[in-house]
Structure 1
């Protein structure tokens, strides 16, 4: 297991554990949430079976049907966009809530909003088209977590309200430069930011979380949480 970070909320601690690339686990108030679980099932052996699985879009570094089937527990529910639902087997689809950009839902005590994720730079728009995938904004008893997923800075980020913890991707040509992540931070003003999704292929050196830290103003109210996702 990589480092497990704990944040206090009004309803108890929220634990966040980076797993790999774009995969992480959140644990809160009896809930275990797997976000984009991919890769070896052994990555998840330190965690309870998920009560909820969050899927952002259909690319192979975010959706792995074999892994998804392996980690599902008896009572696991899924939230996903239509493009993912179209690929799910019927048994998993029956346990899935489909969400489109802008829609709201609730899972037990957690409010969840689907947020548009897409490329805005003309020569990158082919990678992530608007309206296809979802980022997500979670509300854990007033503590908010923004999973931006594969995106660039978008107008939708301007209206998200208070954000405590955010996850922003940082690799080209698929997502953002560190400077663009700074633009996202300016738009959303989170207290903590996890740069993730910063290598592809995974074994090739690329940007590092420290590259983002180096760009942040000294008086910034945002702390960059540097973790080794690879």
Structure 2
């Protein structure tokens, strides 16, 4: 089943599955999600600021009183400092939100440098693989993935690694996310490589900011 996706910059996307409205990774470099309403859940992959902005998360949840906050274990500790309660998902956990299935996978943040400590990272498979958000990870799930949120640039990422991740997951569609560590020229260069080196049968769809696209 197609999903409707709205990209708010960097790692933040709104998914509309037909039964649920899910916001993933509203971080400090993402904008435009603050006015969203009727959310069923907000999902956080890990506690880094470009994925989790507690200052805006509190007001967002207050404006969406029926939305559940779902996080990895490390982010649960972080949001608790702001008097926010989270339901924790760990790798292997499965649950349902508003009729949409969620599966947590991975668990390990990609290495930035051997001397840099990294937090837990949970990737979310939404609606049995209709969409996969890996957070800061290149974990390849066992389940088939229809639409992949494809990391584009990061301190932990080379374009060759992103391409091999794209090929290993082999989705029908990849939507580039996690792009704001790069210049415009760097983003365009990565997108060119993704498009030219895509796995057979897959296509790259670049989402316009803050516009909803069905894929």
TM superposition score category, shorter chain reference: 0.7 to 0.9
CA offsets, 1:23-58, max 9 Å, x none?
Answer: 111123342211111349971366424210010101
How do 1:43-192 and structure 2 match up within 5 A? 43-44=32-33, 47-72=36-61, 73-89=64-80, 91-93=83-85, 96-116=86-106, 117-119=108-110, 123=113, 126=116, 128=118, 132-139=120-127, 144-152=130-138, 154=139, 157=140, 159-174=141-156, 176-192=157-173
Structure 1 gap ranges (5+): 1-8
Structure 2 SS opposite 1:150: coil
Structure 1 SS opposite 2:176: strand
- Residue of structure 2 in register with 1:214 after alignment: 196
2:205 pairs with 1:225: yes
2:189 pairs with 1:198: no
CA offsets, 1:39-86, max 9 Å, x none?
Answer: 499713664242100101010101100111121111110110111110
- Alignment CA distance shift 1:186-1:227 (3 Å): same
- Alignment CA distance shift 1:126-1:43 (3 Å): same
**Residue 41 of structure 1 contacts residue 67 of structure 1 at CA under 8 Å; is this kept in 2?**
no
Structure 2 gap ranges (5+): 211-215
Separation in structure 2 between the aligned mates of residue 207 and residue 37 of structure 1, nearest angstrom: 20
Moved over 4 A (4+): 39-42, 202-205
- Residue of structure 2 in register with 1:5 after alignment: none
**Count of residues in correspondence between the two structures:** 204
Deviation, structure 1 residue 124: 5.9
- Alignment CA distance shift 1:60-1:119 (3 Å): same
Report which structure shows greater RCO (CA 8 Å, sep ≥6).
Answer: 2
**Residue 194 of structure 1 contacts residue 224 of structure 1 at CA under 8 Å; is this kept in 2?**
yes
